Structure formats: C-alpha cells, structure tokens
Amino acid sequence: MTPHNNAKKEDIAKVVIMPGDPLRAKYIAENFLENYKLVNDVRGMYAYTGEYKGKRITVMGSGMGMPSMGIYSYELYKFYDVDTIIRIGSCGVYDENIDLLETILVNGSYTPGNYANNLNGKDIHFVQATQTLNSKINDVANENDLKLRKENIACTECFDPYIENIDLLLERFPKDKNIVGAEMESFALFYNAEVLGKNAACILTVVDSIRNKRALSSLEREQSLNNMIKISLDTAFELT
C-alpha cells in the first residue's frame, strides 16, 4: 500500500487501463468486467480489478494533470509491479483536418513543463510511448475495424480552452514533432515507464477542436469513449 492506494499488492493486475476520471473506471468495471471488486478508494480514485474474457485486468483513474498521473502511474509500476498501463482519455486538437470523435494513438508526447527535471534532474521534454505496445494496439484496432491516427501530442499544464493566447503556446512547440493537439497526462505516464523500464500507451478521443471552435457535449463525450475502451481491453486481453 501507499499513501494514495490502499489496495494490496496482489489486488492489482499486471495490466492497468487508466482513464483520467475515476467514475469512468467505475463505468468500465460495471459494463465490461466480470467478477470485479473495488480495490482502492483513497481520495475517491477508484480502482477495480476483475475479469475481461477470463483475463484479470485492473482499471483505475489517474486524475487530471501530470502530477496526478505521475503519482499513480509511478506507484503502480514501482510498488505494485504493474507491467503495462494504457491511458484512455480525451484531447483537443489544433489541426483543422482532424475531426471530432477521431481516435488518436499517441506516438510521442511533448511537454513544455519540467516533469522530468523535477523527477530526476533530466532536461527532457519529449518521450515516446512503448512502440511494441503501440504496435499491438494498432493490430487490435485493425482486427476490430477501428481506425486509429498515430500522432504526436502535447502534454500541457493548463486546460486549452482557458489559455489566453494559444498561438504563443504553439510557437514553443518543436516544429519537427508535428504536434496535432493536447491533453494533460501522457508525458508523465510515458516518462515514468521509460525511467522504470515498463510499458505505456495512450489512446485519445478527439472531443474539441481549438481552431474550429467545436466541442462535444458531455453526453457525446461519454458515448464516444467506448471504442477506446474496447481497444484497450482487447489489447490487455492479448497481453495477459
């Protein structure tokens, strides 16, 4: 156990599906898992372990932002011997050619922030997902006739719609990375996985377009996530 997780070590599976919202973890457990049980409720960050097609899988919320994802993913890798975390979440896009509801498989995550420097003194701002895991996810998506876009994403410290001048932020992004949008957790997850020798991936549904000023409603966001959930769970099944 840790200060943030009261699950026993044996309560957590080797593969964890990690939405940001703990209530989404509850939704996944109730609608996709069998014989599930709540194994953590500290700070309302629910974790459930159950069976998907007979394979043991954990789903757990990460909270919002790199500090929260950094804590929970680090502890899962370091103290619970988790091998693989697949983040599923939402993102906004800057690229006008990407439509709402498209699904992005993140290749690499760039942050202008200092998560790596704070963790271990490294001046690192771009880190990739585990490429073998991404290949597996892509294969699973193809088998289910689900289309994924493989893109680089920004991991920011402010919610995009609240940023006063988005162009100033975009000017700081490295042009060679062709960053198409942003979310707030992937860099911390990928960096923890790299530091600790683990596996990490991130699947995102596009829920708003910064340039086109379009966004999904709360209900549309909820309904749109099932493709990501299906891909992540079927990948977890293949890995266990």
d(CA 65, CA 79): 21
> For residues 43 and 160, what is the distance between their CA atoms, to the nearest angstrom?
26
| Contact assessment for residue 37 and residue 21, using Cβ atoms and an 8 Å cutoff | no
Tell how far CA 178 is from the center of its chain: 20
Which among 32, 130, 123 has a CA at the least distance from the CA of 73?
Answer: 130
**208 an active-site residue?**
yes
Q: What are phi and psi of 100, to 5 degrees?
A: -60, 145
Catalytic residue among 11, 160, 208, 234: 208
SS3 33: coil
Q: Which of these, 112, 40, 30, lies nearest to 79 by C-alpha position?
A: 40
Please check whether residue 86 is in contact with residue 235, taking contact to mean a CB–CB distance below 8 angstroms. Answer: yes
Do residues 205 and 100 touch, judged by C-beta distance below 8 A?
Answer: no
The catalytic site residues sit at 208
